[in-house]
Chain A
């Protein structure tokens, strides 16, 4: 890191230096460089795997001196990352959540990835979000479909049959309501929703064919009839059927506190203690039939990094078919040759082949990514504030949703 001469500059000089929005930035140097990648996992196993991949790379690449993985807290991940960028301390590589993908891809913050190994293997549904003008700007290294984890013990206690693929939302709510009425535990939990993370509700309204906004991102979908129908169903399931825990109640499926939870399949590792019998089934079908939803994370090379070339080199190595297979034990890969039930079963010992086939492989093939849009954070905040009124007994569903659109439409039109 080159220390600039600011220390000797007077106040005025400092002012100009620091006022300049683009910042000086470090100059690329001839010697080996140090790479920094921001990630949000602090999990020791994940870090061990990443470090071992980095170590192998360092052995064969003398132009890179070290590779550091910086864990930023997930709560404020994007915020901290952009603060570092604003301060002129951008990382060389960044792990990016799907909800900020349009911002990062659209703004030109990332460099196009042109040296990936066998890019033709990537499933088209996984790269859609990360492309602009035919170029890929981030590698979708984790493509994790949503499924329903089921606590079979709790369902049995409530006298309910465990669900099977092809089940419907009607059945899901009936089973969940029965569990909450008979056992006092929660029925169905949409994980990470907690009446704030509304984008997770895409796993519900997808069954009604509803969407937060149109494909081109220009018009609001909350006031459309299919959305009103889906939300009316959900509202009734929460406040009348008591099938979902009410606002302010916490129930952790993985601690045995809920009969069913909708979440990404990668959470299966939380079940390794085996405290109860469980299953994983696809999302229930809605009036519009079956559907699936995926959540994603990508890794991109930050364009303003002086070491962008080396960073791209490492990213290509880290995501080549061999290393993708290793990463697959934690993060479902986007590469089609790896997306076979047998292949995934090896790295996901907790899941049975038919679970992997139904939820993961079919899910990735036809899944829709959770809603995202440029300016996502501001949109998300506006939608959350608008939806707050909905989460009370007796709320006016259609009226509230119309209000959400009034608040959101100007932001979509930007």
Chain B
């Protein structure tokens, strides 16, 4: 057996746990409940049916919820870029008193689980009259702990740009801010890509926060909606849940497969140097 065949073999085996769950989710959403629970599980539905998909839209305002998740994730992504790109640039390339201390301080946010701060955050937003709105789901990720990772990635990227760029900018009479805007940011496209992916996915997957902050089904986001497909007595409707889960995962997967070169390479170029 050649080394190549061996490598392919290893890769194929390793692939199974990565691919099988998604495959199972999608195919099971086309099965009746009894077949989903059968052992051994069937690889393909015996008689595929789209019943569950119809129910997804009948039981919940699913299209509205889809839109909510989509627009919130988009706004959060743009907002995070606006906050983290200048911050990352400043931490990487500008010298100012206390920059290290400030950086270490915001780094704390990177490691704070949201369960820790959810109650005080809820009280803060309730005091401001903003519960059951999308504001907490936008403001906290853009300004709070989740955006710290974005700033961190941005900083790591800007560290890799050669010093000479700054000198050249100074010779051209560009100030620091202009150097960031005209030179730094255009060069940072891979980092921007990476941050966009991280941020979008983070917002798209948010689970605890929507459950705590939102109470009107028309304002729900997708992960929250997934848990709402239950029968009259709270028992989960497995096929409908899996159909809804497939609907939330597939478009993102398709976008990812189409744009994966940009995705992956954007991500890749950020971690190059520490």
Q: Do chains A and B touch in the complex (CB under 8 A)?
A: yes
On whether the beta carbons of B34 and A73 are closer than 8 Å, the reply is: no
A43 adjacent to B228 (CB under 8 Å):
no
- The proximity string for B residues 118-154 relative to A, scoring 1 for CB distances below 8 Å and 0 otherwise, is 1110111111110110000000000000000000000
A305 to B111, CA, bound (A): 37
In this complex, the interface size class of chain A, counting residues with CB under 8 Å from chain B, is: 35 or more
Among residues of A, the one whose C-beta sits closest to the C-beta of B214 is A70
Asked if B37 lies at the interface with its beta carbon under 8 angstroms from chain A, I say yes
Beyond A84-B215, A86-B119, whether A43 also contacts B232 by CB under 8 A is yes
**What's the least CB distance linking B86 to chain A, in Å?**
24
CB within 8 A of B119: which of A4, A80, A87, A252? A87
Chain B residue at minimal CB-CB distance from A73: B227
Q: Is the CB of A71 within 8 A of B37?
A: no
Please state if A83 and B217 are interface contacts (CB–CB under 8 Å).
no
Evaluate contact between B129 and A1: CB separation under 8 angstroms. yes
A74 touches B215 (CB 8 A): no
Total A-B residue pairs with C-beta atoms closer than 8 Å? Answer: 106
In the complex, chain B residues whose CB is within 8 Å of the CB of A266 = 232-233
Cβ-defined partner of B120 (8 Å) among A7, A18, A24, A73? A18
CA distance A41 to B228 in the complex (A): 9
Q: Are B128 and A3 in contact (CB under 8 A)?
A: yes
- CB-based contact A14/B127 at 8 Å: yes
B234 touches A252 (CB 8 A): no
Q: Is A267 an interface residue (CB 8 A)?
A: yes
Residues of A within 8 A of B39 (CB): 249
Q: Judge whether B249 is part of the interface by a CB distance below 8 angstroms.
A: no
Question: In the complex, A41→B234 CA distance in Å?
Answer: 7
Nearest Cβ on chain A to B7's Cβ, whole angstroms: 36
A269 interface residue (CB < 8 Å to B): yes
Bound-complex Cα distance A164 to B32 (A): 31
A266 to B235, CA, bound (A): 12
Query: B120 — which chain A residues lie within 8 A by C-beta?
Result: 18
Bound-complex Cα distance A182 to B16 (A): 34
| A23 CB within 8 Å of chain B | yes
User: Which B residues, 33 to 62, have Cβ-Cβ distances below 8 Å to chain A?
Assistant: 33-34, 37-39, 58-60
Closest A residue, CB atoms, query B231: A270
The verdict on B253 contacting chain A, using a C-beta distance below 8 Å, is no
Question: Quick one: given A87-B119, A255-B34, A256-B34, are A42 and B126 in contact (CB under 8 Å)?
Answer: no
Task: Answer yes or no: B216 CB below 8 A from chain A CBs.
Answer: yes
| Interface status of B185 (Cβ within 8 A of chain A) | no
**A17, B127: Cβ atoms under 8 Å?**
yes
Q: Is the CB of B230 within 8 A of A6?
A: no
CB distance from A144 to the nearest CB of B (A): 9
Residues of A within 8 A of B (CB): 1-4, 6-7, 14, 17-18, 23-24, 36, 38, 40-46, 68, 70-76, 80, 83-84, 86-89, 192, 249-252, 255-257, 264, 266-267, 269-270, 330
Please name 9 further chain A to chain B contacts, defined as beta carbons within 8 Å, in addition to the given A70-B215, A75-B227, sorted by A numbering. Answer: A18-B123, A18-B124, A36-B215, A41-B230, A42-B230, A76-B211, A86-B119, A266-B233, A270-B233
